[in-house]
Amino acid sequence: MGKLKISEESIISKALEGNVPGDPVERAITSIEYNAHEETPVIIGLAGFYGTSFSFLNRSFTSIDFRSTLEKITSTGNVDSFVIILPDTMTSFGGNQYMNSSAVGMYEDFITHDVVDFIKNKYGKRRIGLFGKSSGGFGSYNLSINNPELFRGFIDVSGDAGFEYCYMRDFPQAIDTLGKTGLTEFMKKFRTSDFHTNSDLNVNGVIAMSAFYSPDRSGEMGIELPFDMHTGELKEDVWKKWKKLDPLQNARSHIKDLKKMKIILQTGSRDEFSINIGMRGLSNILHDNGVDHQFMEYDAGHFGIDYFYEESLPELINGLIH
């Protein structure tokens, strides 16, 4: 039995050069190795919104944290070896959806080019998978369907899906706030504030999703909101842009590639953002279209669920080997 070997390096990202917010192009990459050898698969971990690579290593004293989960996995003997790569993906919007956006930066390219090149240079040609929770789960799914030649499988833990249920609930709050402040003033205050209320976080979340899902160089801050912030009217054309990215809307278009992947979906039945509805729906779509996958639903919410990985990480790692 080996021990976890944790190291940190940095890369200069070509993909992030010239990003509009001016976020750093030098990014830390944390590597976690366990009995690594030439055949060991590599899995890239994508953080949830308001988190980044360093969040995976935070210790928790109220629930089983990610590092403790890895220690439990290695103690059971269910996996022989693995390499986990955790890239820093924080943005000025507070998180990432792992997409290319003119308003935020080229973060799909960052993962598929810069991070994948880092893996190739350090470890050689490997089988690569993805995993993540919430925005990281969405990123794992979305990057996989867009780049099936790169990624052999993914774990999607409560990834954004069923957009009507997980996003629209915050629209009224955002309309009320932004109708008074506008985007620029709100974001200036948000980025300089020492404290954020739940309302602030929810409104920023809507803005951030707009920055990824509906960037518009002609709009305020290069963003187009899915509603009129003054009248509250839903902008159907913008909302359609969002919906095209909803796994419940696009999964059927990627069935052929999904059938070739190792897929694990996990969610809590009491998810505070109702993402369990979208996850359940995605599983049903995959099942109805003959896509082999595992769907696990737990009596849990959206937070403090790193222990889900105790079941899914060994499945993905072993699935990438065989």
Domain CATH number, residue 261: 3.40.50.1820
Average pLDDT value for the chain: 96
208-250 pLDDT, tens digit per residue, is 999 999 999 999 999 999 999 999 999 999 999 999 999 999 9
The pLDDT of residue 153: 98
- State which amino acid sits at residue 106: M
| Same-domain pairing of 115 and 200 | no
Whether 296 and 259 share a structural domain: yes
Q: Are 186 and 160 in contact (CB under 8 A)?
A: no
**Do 130 and 43 share a structural domain?**
yes
Same domain, 78 and 129: yes
Residue 322 pLDDT: 75
- Tally of CB atoms within 10 A around 62: 7
- pTM above 0.85? yes
Residue 193 has pLDDT above 60, yes or no: yes
On the question of pLDDT at 63 being above 90, the answer is no
**pLDDT higher than threshold 80 for residue 2:** no
Per the rule left: phi > 0, alpha: psi between -120 and 50, beta: everything else, 160 is beta
Confidence of residue 1 (pLDDT cuts 50, 70, 90): low
Say what the pLDDT of residue 313 is.
Answer: 98
Query: Do 264 and 125 share a structural domain?
Result: yes
Pairing status of strand 262-268 against strand 151-157: parallel
Together in a domain, 137 and 216 = no
Average pLDDT on 87-114 reads: 98
Do 27 and 101 fall within a single domain? yes
Q: Which of 243, 271, 303 is the last residue of a domain?
A: 243
Q: Domain of 78?
A: 5-162+247-321
Domain stops at, among 243, 267, 293 = 243
Q: How many domains does the chain have?
A: 2
Mean pLDDT of 255-277: 98
Say yes or no to pLDDT of 139 above 90: yes
Give the residue-averaged pLDDT of 176-190.
95
- How many of the other CB atoms lie within 10 Å of CB of 53? 20
Q: What is the Cβ-side half-sphere exposure of residue 293, based on CA atoms within 13 angstroms?
A: 30
**231 and 295 belong to one structural domain:** no
Q: How many angstroms separate the CA atoms of 109 and 116, rounded?
A: 10
Domain boundary at 209, 243, 277, which?
243
- DSSP letters for 109-136: HIIIIIIHHHHHHHH-S--EEEEEETHH
What distance in Å separates the CA atoms of residue 205 and residue 276, rounded to the nearest whole number? 19
